[in-house]
Structure 1
Amino acid sequence: MTANQARQTRVLIVGAGAIGGFYGAALQRGGADVSLVCRSEAEVVRQHGYRIESVRRGDSVLRPNQILLSAADYQGGPPDYLVLSVKVVHGLDRVSLIRDAVGPDTAIVLIENGVEIESEIAQAFPANELISALAFVQVSRIAPGVIRHFAFGDLTFGNYPRGLSERSRHFGALLESGGIQCALTEQVVTARWAKCLWNAAFNPASVLGGGLDTEDMLGTPEGEALVRRAMQEVRAVADAAGHSLAPELIDQYIENTRKAPAYKTSMALDYLHRRPMEIEAIIGNAVRAGRRERVDIPTLENLYALLKMVEHKAGKPA
């Protein structure tokens, strides 16, 4: 793939929040023609672009080629890559969000949280290449058209359900050219379970503590012990499902979290701003997998049940 061909790669991002904007800016730096479906902030982004603030990486501005209200408005033929980076929440029809822009040669890229989230898209678009990606990043939308990057930023991805194609490699090359480190894997489902080690422990605890940040959660022996128990149960479920994870990952994740700046999880931010939370994708699917594989998961079961209570209360009229 020549530099000129790379510059002409067309990418449509559906879900231009913190994740979509952050990686969209990297793809644009890497030479891609990037467009966004950006409904609530469309006018702000048209006028000023999407500003990414980062002490670690430097500030940048994403100026999309097209700023759209829906995927159906995309002009110039189907994109080479359609990146779906919406939150996987109950009641959201992800298929309908992207269907009108997916062409026969469009590769669909999921940069989303959770485990066992790909099948809905794979069943709807069986002829399209599906790339599943996991973002290891601390980034938040802090104002309309403004994203703040706190730490990390690496992506791990590969083809679903397994394998690694040339199109995946080209997508990684674009991101690498834009400053993002990419780990390509032929076993992306196993990689999703590895990320679930962190997500299924820290996200629920952050909400159930009323919006705790990572420093709060690891600040007491009891807090760290809870996080470790949840991680150990996720590892047991993954192993039973055929996706063995190295035991040292737990220590590694906790140590890396300690080193990073104190950070509120995405679920904590959604809870504090009264937005729908990714409960099912992040922990519900892990719990159901544990039940299916007949693994004893008392900590995950309790975290999930308590989260559902919080969700139920949040849904009541004020």
Structure 2
Amino acid sequence: MFSGGTRSFWVLCYVIEFRWRCYTEAVTTGNRSIPPSCTVIPWCRRSVSWGRFGDSSPDIVRRRIAIVGAGAVGGYYGGKLSAAGEDVSFLVRSGLADLRREGLSVESPAGALHLPSPRVYDNSGEIGPVDLVIVAWKATANESYRKVISPLLHSTTAILTLQNGLGNTDKLAELFGADRVLGGLCFVCINRLSLTRIRHLGQGLITMGEFEGGLTERLQDLTECFEAAGIQCGAVRDLIHAQWVKLVWNVPFNGLCIAEGGITTEDLLSCPQGEQQVRSLMREVVAGAAALGRRIAPEVLDKQIRSTREMGDYRPSSMIDYLEGRDVEVEAIWKEPLRRAEQAGAKLPAWKRLLGRIRRRLEERG
């Protein structure tokens, strides 16, 4: 049996030899990402990190992750991944100086989190290629996909979008290749208090799936990566079905809270008429999904209403955008799913009326 000092010496020798093999292969191939032969375990599991010695053990490493959009969703999940030891960089459009000065803070019933010195940038070229890109900005910014994401890619970079609605994964696949793209649906109560502070009120599940479908090893690795950071995560075989399940909530709650002038989910469910409108829209979303070959179980409606009551006086993200004068994700959440469902033969009058009400509210707001 080796003594502690002898064991440490041989571990160090192994790490140096392993790192040298990675370096020589990179020089030979011209590939600055981790060469396949230097990956101990699949891409999202812990393997040897590029360009640094993290832990003294050769089978432990931090994945390189870029969070594109460090608002409430990106800040919360990126913060948890960073706190768990992943190599996380945040790309922001505003608040760069504030985040560098104050750090990133998350208030949560599960425990507070503070990153005193998060790596924040306002240019993706400064981050460079990473192993995983997490897109967490609003779908209204999607015209910048190519410009922002391209500098973050190496040959095997995966792209996970946590955006609401439909059409986001399709556009990413069109630009960067379907084999790179995954989608994630966040079921979380969360608000951004300031440029540096996020309040997590409850929940937090992410449901993930491959754009091309199926339960792949990469998808399993990715869910394990998030679970290790304390993020409840589940993998699904059919991403489109999961997207429609999320729309069952987003269409009525985000939509009606805007259409009624900026009310909370608690306000909406506090009267029978409000709940009736919610259920009517939920049933139409289920019908739209069915027209596209995706069956959503009836109990999903009751479950979502029950969980929404448990949120209390919650302000949906689209309603906050509406009140604060920002762009609202009308295309991704209401228009594109409605278009696809109607094209498949669904009749959805309440959904169409809601879309009209939202548009009028936005026109009045200016």
TM-score range, shorter chain: over 0.9
Question: How far apart in 2 are the matches of 1:287 and 1:127?
Answer: 24
2:100/2:118 contact within 8 Å kept: no
How far 1:90 moved relative to its partner?
A: 7.0
**Unmatched runs of 5 consecutive residues or more in structure 1:** none
Higher alpha-carbon Rg = 2
- In structure 2, the partner of 1:297 is 348
Compared CA separation, residues 91 and 36, structure 1 to 2 (3 A): closer
Q: Determine helix, strand or coil for the equivalent of 2:168.
A: coil
Cα distance in 2 for partners of 1:264, 1:159 equals 30
Pairing of 1:123-138 with structure 2 (within 5 A): 123-126=174-177, 128-138=179-189
Instruction: Give 2:152's aligned residue.
Output: 101
CA separation in 2, counterparts of 1:7 and 1:13? 18
> Residues of 1 paired with 2:293 and 2:277: CA distance?
25
* CA distance, structure 1, for counterparts of residue 123 and residue 344 of structure 2: 39
Letter in 2 for 1:28: S
| Aligned twin of 2:94 | 40
Instruction: State the AA in 2 paired with 1:57.
Output: A
**Partners of 2:143 and 2:365 in 1: CA distance:** 18
Matched length: 312
Cα deviation code 1:21-56 (max 9, x no counterpart)? 1000121233310001123111111122210011x2
Which of 100, 104, 124 is the matching residue for 1:50?
Answer: 104
1:67 has 2:117 as partner: no
Match of 2:209 in 1: 158
**Aligned equivalents of 1:99, 1:23: Cα separation in 2:** 22
Q: Deviations over 1:109-142 (max 9, x none)?
A: 1011012321111010116521100100011111
Counterpart check, 1:8 vs 2:62:
yes
Structure 2 partner of 1:246: 297
Q: How far apart are 1:261 and its partner, in Å?
A: 2.2
Residues 252 and 57 from structure 1, CA distance in 2 versus in 1: closer, same or farther, beyond 3 angstroms?
Answer: same
Q: Does the C-alpha gap of structure 1 residues 269 and 142 become closer, same or farther in structure 2, counting only changes over 3 Å?
A: same
CA distance in 2, matches of 1:27, 1:242: 35
SS at match of 2:346: coil
SS of equivalent residue, structure 2 residue 288: helix
- Deviation string 1:163-215 (CA, Å, 9 cap, x unpaired) is 23222222211211111110111111100000100000101100111111111
Aligned to 1:255: 306
Deviations 1:238-294 (A, max 9, x none): 011011110110011001111222201101100110000011111111211222112
Aligned position for 1:273:
324
- Structure 2 Cα separation of the partners of residues 79 and 135 of structure 1: 22
Q: Which residue of 2 aligns with 1:23?
A: 77
Distance verdict in 2 for CA 1:79–1:91, change over 3 Å: closer
Percent of aligned positions with the same letter in both sequences? Answer: 32
Report the AA paired with residue 146 of structure 1.
Answer: R
Residue 71 of structure 2 aligns to which amino acid in structure 1? G
Higher RCO (CA 8 Å, separation ≥ 6 residues): 1
Q: Tell me, yes or no, if the aligned pair for 1:11 and 1:34 is still in contact at 8 Å.
A: yes
Asked if the contact 2:169–2:182 (Cα under 8 Å) also holds between the matched residues in 1, the reply is no
CA contact (8 A) 2:318 2:328 kept: yes
Which residue does the alignment assign to 1:203?
254
- Give the alignment's TM-score, normalised by structure 2: 0.81
> Given that residues 12 and 35 in structure 1 are in contact (C-alpha distance below 8 angstroms), is that contact kept between their aligned partners in structure 2?
yes
SS at match of 1:118: helix
Work out the CA distance in 1 between the residues paired with 2:131 and 2:303.
36
Aligned equivalents of 2:68, 2:299: Cα separation in 1: 35
Contact map agreement 1:105 1:128 (CA 8 A) in 2:
no
The amino acid across from 2:326 in the alignment is R
Are the equivalent residues in 2 in contact too, given 1:20–1:85 (CA < 8 A)?
yes
SS of equivalent residue, structure 1 residue 89: helix
Instruction: Name the aligned partner's letter for residue 72 of structure 1.
Output: G
Q: Could you tell me whether the CA contact under 8 Å between 1:200 and 1:230 is conserved in 2?
A: yes
Q: Distance in 1 between matches of 2:365 and 2:345?
A: 31
Q: Residue in 1 aligned with 2:13?
A: none
SS at match of 2:139: coil
| Structure 2 gap ranges (5+) | 1-40, 49-59
**Is the contact made by 2:252 and 2:281 (CA closer than 8 Å) also made in structure 1?**
yes
- TM-score, normalised on structure 1? 0.93
Q: CA deviation at 1:306?
A: 1.2
